[in-house]
Each structure stands twice: as structure tokens, then as C-alpha cells.
């Protein structure tokens, strides 16, 4: 991919659509409780972009402030969870992390690790060999590569 790459996605009913330009700074699985709650799923996969790379169209997305300065957006019609939106720190500024499964072609975005691995549902294990991190991928202690083989969790 290059900086002019465009990808599109949206919610299940099509009322909220988005387009992203350029590459994500992060593609990661997340096992944290907030992501799992917001999505009703045992694990979530996110693609992170600077706010300026993302444009929304169609219906205004609904937003829930899950913590101060952090919004989790969804479609007001069909309820599809769409984003985590907040401050990505000094280098990134405001960021929009899109739920990877809402992209029209999600297979082109490949995750590089598991975030918040210790927060996962204890029985949840995956067979991939991606690095598992205590917190955010590449920004927190790396705990292990690959699945546990000596019993869960």
C-alpha cells in the first residue's frame, strides 16, 4: 500500500460509511474489556488511523463516551460498533481506530499482534504466532509469542 491507497467500509445497514486514505499506523487484535463490551465479542481487531485520514459519510454516527475524551461510535440505525476515537498522543494527535470487520475488504489489513492479552477471556486462545502484549502492541511489555501450551490462561 502507499499513501494514496483508499479503502472503504461501513456499518451493517449501510447508513454510516467511511473512507480511509493511506496506511494505518496500527493493525492489532485487542482483548481489553472495553473493546469486548463495545462489540459483544470475545476479541476485536482494530485498524488505527490519524483523524485526517478518515472521512465519514451518510448518517451521523452515534457516540458513547467510554472514558473522558474517548468516544466509541456506532450506527444509530443498526447498532454496528464502528470506532474507538480519542487522543493518540503527541506523535499521532487525534486518532480513529476502525473495527476491521467493518471494512469492505478487511483481508488487506493484517494484524501484527495481540493487545491487552492478559485481559482476554481466560478460555480464549488463538493458534497464531503473533506477539502478545501486556497493553498496546509495540508500546507495552511483550509477554509471549504464540499460544500457551501448558494450560490456560
* Closest distance to Zn ion from the beta carbon of 85 (Å): 13
Nearer to Zn ion, 1 or 60 (CB): 60
* Closest distance to Zn ion from the beta carbon of 3 (Å): 27
Nearer to Zn ion, 1 or 14 (CB): 14
Instruction: Please give the residue ranges that form the binding site for Zn ion (CB under 5 A).
Output: 11, 13, 15, 30, 32, 35, 75, 77-78
- CB-CB neighbours of 4 under 10 Å: 7
Of 65, 97, 59, nearest to 77 by C-alpha is 59
Partner residues linked to 65 by β-bridges = 71
Burial class (CB in 10 A: 0-12, 13-18, 19+), 28: buried
* Closest distance to Zn ion from the beta carbon of 118 (Å): 12
* Closest distance to Zn ion from the beta carbon of 151 (Å): 25
Tell me the C-alpha distance between 107 and 56, whole Å.
Answer: 21
Nearer to Zn ion, 30 or 54 (CB): 30
Nearer to Zn ion, 1 or 87 (CB): 87
Tell me the C-alpha distance between 103 and 10, whole Å.
Answer: 6
Amino acid at each position: 500500500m502507499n499513501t494514496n491507497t483508499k479503502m472503504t467500509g461501513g456499518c451493517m445497514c449501510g447508513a454510516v460509511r467511511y473512507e480511509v486514505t493511506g496506511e494505518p499506523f496500527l493493525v492489532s487484535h485487542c482483548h481489553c474489556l472495553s473493546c469486548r463490551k463495545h462489540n459483544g465479542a470475545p476479541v476485536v481487531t482494530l485498524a488505527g488511523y490519524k483523524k485526517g485520514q478518515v472521512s465519514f459519510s451518510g448518517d451521523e454516527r452515534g457516540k458513547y463516551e467510554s472514558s473522558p475524551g474517548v468516544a466509541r461510535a456506532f450506527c444509530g440505525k443498526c447498532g454496528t460498533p464502528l470506532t474507538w476515537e480519542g487522543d493518540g498522543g503527541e506523535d499521532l494527535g487525534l486518532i480513529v481506530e476502525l473495527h476491521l470487520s467493518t471494512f469492505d475488504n478487511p483481508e488487506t489489513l493484517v494484524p501484527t499482534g495481540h493487545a491487552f492479552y492478559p485481559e482476554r477471556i481466560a478460555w480464549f486462545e488463538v493458534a497464531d504466532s503473533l506477539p502478545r502484549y501486556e497493553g498496546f502492541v509495540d508500546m507495552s511489555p511483550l509477554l509471549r509469542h504464540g499460544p500457551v501450551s501448558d494450560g490456560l490462561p
